[in-house]
C-alpha cells in the first residue's frame, strides 16, 4: 500500500480549517486550492497546514 498522509486545508483569510484530504507522502510542495469557506461566505485560497 502506498504511503498516504491526511492533510488539512485552512482558509488563508480567517484561518478556519475546512477541508481534509489524503495524499502521497512523497509528493513535494504544499497544496493550495481555491475552495468555498463557510465562515467567510466566499471562495478563498486554502493552504495546507499540519
What was the pLDDT predicted at 42?
Answer: 96
DSSP codes of every residue in 1-50: ---EEEEEEEETTT--EEEEEEEETT--S--EEEEEETTTTEEEEEEEE-
Q: What whole-number distance in Å separates Cα of residue 45 and Cα of residue 2?
A: 28
Mean pLDDT by 10 residues, the chain (50 residues): 88 95 90 95 94
Count of domains forming the chain: 1
Residue 13's contacts (CB-CB under 8 Å, 6 or more residues apart) are 37, 40, 44
What was the pLDDT predicted at 3?
Answer: 87
Domain that holds residue 11: 4-49
pTM: 0.82
Amino acid at each position: 500500500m502506498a504511503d498516504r498522509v491526511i492533510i488539512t486545508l485552512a482558509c488563508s483569510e480567517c484561518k478556519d480549517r475546512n477541508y481534509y484530504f489524503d495524499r502521497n507522502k512523497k509528493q513535494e510542495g504544499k497544496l493550495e486550492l481555491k475552495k468555498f469557506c463557510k465562515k467567510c461566505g466566499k471562495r478563498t485560497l486554502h493552504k495546507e497546514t499540519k
